[in-house]
């Protein structure tokens, strides 16, 4: 009898610690209005770096280092502008539409099973509208620290976040879409 009680208590403790990661991540997301971070992005082996600001819901501004590239979403449209090119897409056609929607992330995390990677990262795999998105959180701070997606051209895009600052003052017009040259 003692053996069964021990197993029951162990399972309850294990499931509570398991659930607590989800609860801490959800609480962190609920209390986050914006993020500022440095990033490293690897698209099929091509690595780019820069700085981004995310404001929930669905706004992002990224300035890339070394190539004058910017990426901006105002919550509806998504623009990538370089010195020689300009691309505008409906945000809803990109995986960022889901990543930049913290209410969507919270809802999904409630229902998904987490994976602990290298005892440092918590990973959730979201499959939605032909998108497979791997979202990563830090196992100590519970901050969003990256994601992996496939873009509309089936390129694998891995984005790693560092130097994360939460709920900082943001310039008023930061998410204004740039004009095409």
Question: Any idea what the CATH number is for the domain that residue 50 is in?
Answer: 2.50.20.10
The answer to whether the beta carbons of residues 163 and 139 sit under 8 Å apart is no
Decide if 48 contacts 154 (C-beta within 8 A).
no
What pTM does this model have?
A: 0.84
160 pLDDT higher than 90: yes
3-state secondary structure of 104: helix
Q: Is residue 177 part of a domain?
A: no
- Domain assignment present for 86: yes
Residue 46 within any structural domain of the chain? yes
Q: Please, are residues 50 and 181 in contact by the beta-carbon 8 Å criterion?
A: no
pLDDT at res. 152? 67
Start-end of H helices in the chain: 2-30, 96-99, 102-111
Output the six-digit token pair for 130. Answer: 């032909």
**5 occurs within a structural domain:** no
Q: What pLDDT shows up at residue 112?
A: 94
Backbone angles phi, psi at 17, to 5 degrees: -70, -35
The pair of three-digit structure tokens given for residue 72, joined into one six-digit string:
């901006």
Range of the domain at 31: 21-166
Contact (CB, 8 A) for 102 and 83: no
Tell me the C-alpha distance between 121 and 115, whole Å. Answer: 8
Question: Is 12 inside a domain boundary?
Answer: no
Number of structural domains in the chain: 1
pLDDT in tens, 132-158: 999 999 999 999 999 999 876 788 999
Does any domain span residue 8?
A: no
State pLDDT tens for residues 1-60: 444 344 444 444 444 445 589 999 999 999 999 999 999 999 989 999 999 999 999 999
Instruction: Tell me whether residue 27 is in a domain.
Output: yes
139 occurs within a structural domain: yes
Mean pLDDT of the chain: 89
């Amino acid at each position: 009898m003692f053996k069964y009680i021990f197993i029951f208590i162990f399972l309850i403790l294990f499931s509570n610690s398991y659930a607590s990661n989800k609860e801490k991540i959800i609480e962190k997301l609920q209390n986050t209005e914006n993020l500022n971070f440095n990033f490293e992005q690897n698209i099929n082996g091509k690595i780019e770096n820069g700085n981004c600001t995310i404001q929930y819901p669905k706004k992002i501004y990224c300035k890339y280092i070394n190539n004058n590239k910017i990426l901006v979403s105002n919550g509806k449209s998504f623009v990538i502008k370089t010195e020689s090119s300009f691309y505008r897409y409906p945000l809803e056609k990109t995986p960022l539409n889901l990543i930049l929607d913290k209410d969507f992330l919270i809802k999904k995390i409630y229902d998904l099973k987490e994976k602990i990677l290298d005892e440092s990262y918590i990973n959730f795999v979201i499959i939605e509208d032909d998108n497979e998105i791997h979202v990563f959180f830090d196992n100590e701070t519970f901050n969003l620290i990256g994601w992996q997606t496939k873009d509309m051209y089936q390129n694998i895009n891995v984005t790693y976040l560092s130097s994360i600052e939460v709920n900082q003052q943001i310039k008023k017009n930061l998410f204004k879409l740039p004009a095409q040259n």
